[in-house]
Structure 1
């Protein structure tokens, strides 16, 4: 079995480049396998709705590119 490669200090401290609206976003997985985020899920959803086009709505004339509100 090959030995596991240890990350260097530089690799562990490096932070990825993120969109300015998501500055400070951090996500981890706890010992129970649950995702823990530094942002509220609603804030993340608003960002995604604003910046990511949904393939499901491609070519539909009855929708202006904005998904309808959840009922």
Structure 2
């Protein structure tokens, strides 16, 4: 009898924000991060949508992580 090959189920693509559609990030064998999107665009998105926990404790920053105007 011939052995049946086991089919590995394809991993579903994770849900991403609509601004980041098509984002694909991988890490190669040397530990380098490879992305199909410009890193500056990713950083800009993160700055707008993610609160910086380190800045939240400082008095000169507001709750959004933006520097307060003096």
TM category (shorter chain) comes to: 0.5 to 0.7
Question: Alpha-carbon deviations, 1:31-71, whole Å to 9, x = none?
Answer: 4332110111111111111001011121434224226xxxx
Of residues 19, 44, 47, the one that matches 1:46 is 44
56-65 vs 20-29, greater mean Cα deviation: 56-65
Q: Which runs of 5+ in 1 are unaligned?
A: 1-5
**Equivalent residue number for residue 66 of structure 1:** 66
Q: TM-score scaled by structure 1?
A: 0.65
Task: Select which of 16, 24, 27 maps to 1:26.
Answer: 24
* TM-score, normalisation: structure 2: 0.66
Matched, 1:7 2:15: no
Unaligned runs of 5+ in 2: 1-6
Larger Rg: 2
